[in-house]
Amino acid sequence: MVRKVIILGSGPAGYTAALYTARAKLNPLLLSGDEPGGQLMLTGEVENYPGFSKGIHGPELIETMWQQAERFGAEVRYEKATAVEFKGNPLRVKVEEAVYEAEAVIVATGASARWLGLESEARFRGRGVSACATCDGPLFKNLDVVVVGGGDTAVDDALFLTKFTDNVTIVHRRDQFRASRILQERLFRNNKIQIRWNTIVTEIVGQTTVQGVVLQDVKTGKKSQLKCSGVFVAIGHIPNTEIFKGKLEMDERGYLVTKRRTETNVEGVFAAGDVQDHLYRQAVVAAGSGCMAALDVERYLQSKMDPIS
């Protein structure tokens, strides 16, 4: 059975693409991947997604998207694509022992935040630990927070958080930032920001929520404890594109390259969301690009039926 469209990924981009292609009577198959719901599943209160004036929990938002897509006929399977074959048509997606075929594929596998790898970090995700300052910063109004990292994202996050918090401490393992000069200049002028150079976070402490971090000087080995209510990990993201290496064009960081809206370099394959967006990384932006990919797929399939148009 050759399907009209297969969607890889179940975050806002994937579910929005499923919704639009389902309403277009394309009977999409969505494969959720090994992280169903993506990063929203690790997000507590979402206050900046339009339509929810009182906010909504990340997992609840994902469940609402899933139910809406299924209502219009999208088929959702909790399976992970392990390989793809994009030479010729139909396009093929392998899932363990099964192989699905389709005329078009939308890649919406997202990007995963880089974490510190601490057990305590995993325990407090969504309870004071976050990888998205733009998403969760307003929840820490008038509180002290820590930002871990030294690149553009970390410095930008620290500056953003000063709009809400009383005090921001940047913890960086080196003695200088990798961030752009203009961002560093803004940071050094901001009296709400303190910097702990040559320092790493070895543990996050608290009861039900974050209450502080254990810091270690990388030169002396000396440990100390810093009180805070939130920890923002800003050490980068990893696009979930491993199975597309050698199959689709990527940039030097592994993000898929799109041309003419959501088209990849392979005919019939489209990309949406954080898998091709390393700048905005917002749920509403991902949902918008999922809509774009769905509309592009609809036009693509129509052009195959009616080449003259």
pTM value is 0.82
Contact indicator for 168, 162 with CB cutoff of 8 Å: yes
Domain boundary among 172, 205, 233: 233
74 plus 37 within the same structural domain: yes
Give the count of domains, the chain.
2
Compute φ and ψ for 265, nearest 5 degrees.
Answer: -80, -5
- Token pair for 79: 């399976």
Q: What is the pLDDT of residue 307?
A: 64
124 plus 104 within the same structural domain: no
User: What are the residue ranges in the chain where pLDDT is below 70?
Assistant: 42, 44, 307-309
User: Which of 236, 268, 288 has its CA nearest to residue 11?
Assistant: 288
Q: What is the pLDDT of residues 79-138, one digit of tens each?
A: 999 999 999 899 999 998 899 999 999 999 999 889 999 999 999 998 999 998 988 899
Domain boundary among 175, 210, 233: 233
User: Could you give the angle at which helices 58-71 and 12-23 cross, rounded to 10 degrees?
Assistant: 20
Q: Which residues are catalytic?
A: 132, 135-136
- State the alpha helices, DSSP H only, in the chain: 12-23, 58-71, 119-123, 133-136, 152-161, 181-189, 283-305
120 plus 104 within the same structural domain: no
248 plus 262 within the same structural domain: yes
Q: What is the pLDDT of residue 309?
A: 52
199 plus 301 within the same structural domain: no
> What is the span of the domain harbouring residue 196?
115-233
The residue type at 61: L
Number of other CB atoms surrounding residue 169 within 10 Å: 21
Domain boundary among 233, 257, 280: 233
3-state secondary structure of 238: strand
- Give the length of the chain: 309
81 plus 160 within the same structural domain: no
CATH for 170: 3.50.50.60
